[in-house]
Amino acid sequence: MPLFKRRPAPPQGHWQETTQRSQWHTFGATELPPLPALDPRTRDGAGAGASDAQAFDVCHVGLVLRAVLGVHGVLALGAALMARDGGQWLALMAQGTVVTMFAVLAWLVGVCAGKRLWPRLTAGVLWPLLMGWGGAAGLLGLGLLNLTSDEPFTAWRATGVLLSGAAAAGVLLAWLQLRAHSQRPADALAQLVELQSRIRPHFLFNTLNSAIALVQVDPARAESVLEDLAELFRVALGEASEAVSLGEEVELAQRYLAIEQIRFGDRLRVRWQLDPQANGARVPPLLLQPLVENAVRHGVEPNDDGGELQVTTQRRGDQVEIRIVNTVGAPARTPGHGLALRNVRQRLALMHDVAARFDVDASAHRYALRILVPL
């Protein structure tokens, strides 16, 4: 018989909106909205093959811009070596841009469209296939150029473009794989380890004392608290993975706030607005927990009347928006240093580059965080 019982999954709908309220007045405990069962295969397998899959996730503005600029830089250098004067260089660049721009974008679209397929192929199949697609994209670009100019479509030009396209595709593929492997450098992993160690000892002691007090009065509530604590520490002390789903991060934040609700009772008022369509977004691990912890520490703990915390997730086209808003009253007893915010911001940039946004809107009575990640 398992030590902890899983809570039933919540009903599915376009929006799940719940509000935590104190229902057990002796200790201020509250009934947290039901949490989805955690699939061990999802959590444990998050890092398996993630680097390979991430290499082909090229549908980002920053990556496309770098690829286009890199190829055009090589084109400009090659045209400079072949041109006799500035006029010929401009003519070669104009013609070459038509071919290379179409070829690079077509190749990136093909890679993006098959990003779930490529990691399953062996290197002996993957490289010839994508290099062949690079050559074919170059020929398509050459055909587009011939439609807009009087340049003849000769065999030697077609062969040169085919080989150049295949070579450029090989260089881009090597760069994408190298970039994916370097996205978890030692310093980034150290940041995650540091963040995982931030679950403070007195939080553990407070939680255990609350569970001990609850054992005699409400054993079911004590079991629920220990279940949340066990899951929180399993994630925090487990092996660091490259990415997890937003749904998993929401569950972890819910468990953390359920534990804090034992201590603060009615002083901690939490409202969830969760869009199930946003749960599939990939985010760095331990993204939400340190942010909601900051909200509790700086927006609820210092104030006798407590504070309000709202967590919202919403899908917006091909992006997911995450909002964490908390009220602000008295200054925190222990001033923060912004380490958690800086850590989350850096890891978002490392994972999603310019496709992710992290905005802060602070006022005298309200502190809001807004995160945008690709879906």
Q: Shortest CA distance to 138 belongs to which of 175, 116, 168, 183?
A: 168
Residue 316, pLDDT score: 92
Residue 116, pLDDT score: 83
- Which has more confidence, 287 or 242? 287
The residue to which tokens 């879906």 are assigned: 375
Q: Mean pLDDT: which of 68-72, 80-84, 238-242, 369-373 is highest?
A: 369-373
pLDDT tens for each residue of 252-266: 889 889 888 888 889
Residue 270 has pLDDT above 90, yes or no: yes
Residue extent(s) of CATH 3.30.565.10 domains in the chain: 16-46+199-374
Residue 224 has pLDDT above 80, yes or no: yes
Residue 1 has pLDDT above 80, yes or no: no
Residue 136's pLDDT band, with cuts at 50, 70 and 90, is: very high
CA distances from 155 to 99, 128, 139, 152 (A): 16, 22, 11, 10
Residue 319 has pLDDT above 60, yes or no: yes
SS3 state at 240: coil
Per the structure block, which two tokens stand in for 293? 């912890």
Residue 10 CB partners (closer than 8 Å, separation 6+): 16, 33, 34, 35, 36
Percent of the chain with pLDDT over 90: 27
Residue 210 has pLDDT above 90, yes or no: no
Residue-averaged pLDDT of the chain: 77
CA–CA distance, 203 with 211 (Å, rounded to integer): 12
Residue 232, pLDDT score: 75
pLDDT tens for each residue of 324-373: 999 987 666 555 556 778 888 888 887 887 788 999 999 888 999 999 99
Residue 29 has pLDDT above 50, yes or no: no
Q: What is the DSSP string of 24-73?
A: ETTTTEE-PPP-PPP-HHHHHTSSTTHHHHHHT----HHHHHHHHHHHHH
Residue 33 has pLDDT above 70, yes or no: no
Mean pLDDT, rounded, for 160-189: 79
Residue 149's pLDDT band, with cuts at 50, 70 and 90, is: confident
- Which has more confidence, 321 or 196? 321
In this structure, what is the dihedral angle of CA atoms 91, 94, 100, 103, given to the nearest 10 degrees? -120
CATH number of 16-46+199-374: 3.30.565.10
